[in-house]
Amino acid sequence: MLVGLTLIGLSVTFVLYGLFAILYRGDSGDSGGNGDTYVTFAGHEIDADVAGAIALLTALVILTLGVTVVRRRGFAKPS
């Protein structure tokens, strides 16, 4: 069950990162920025919206695994 709860906690972290990556607009506004934001991953610049979408999809997979593990093990006390 500890593994399942850890996976659920990890998925929450991925969700937060994904939402921040998608919602953050960089230097948009009066400063003349166009709002495009990039994330450096393995030496390559990736659009932050794409990185956020990948993080959200990863969170969905991890959350599904975590919930499955918790449901199979349940909250029963070990004997």
In the prediction, which pLDDT does 12 show?
A: 96
Dihedral over Cα of 66, 68, 71, 75: its sign:
negative
Q: What is the structure's pLDDT at 10?
A: 96
In the chain, beta strands by DSSP E: 38-41, 44-47
Q: Which residue has the higher pLDDT, 29 or 58?
A: 58
What is the bridge-based pairing of β-strands 38-41 and 44-47?
Answer: antiparallel
pLDDT of residue 50: 93
Token digits of residue 61: 């997979």
Mean pLDDT score of the chain: 85
pLDDT in tens, 8-23: 999 999 999 999 988 8
Half-sphere exposure at residue 71, Cβ-oriented, CA atoms within 13 angstroms:
6
Q: Per-domain residue ranges for the chain?
A: 2-24+36-73
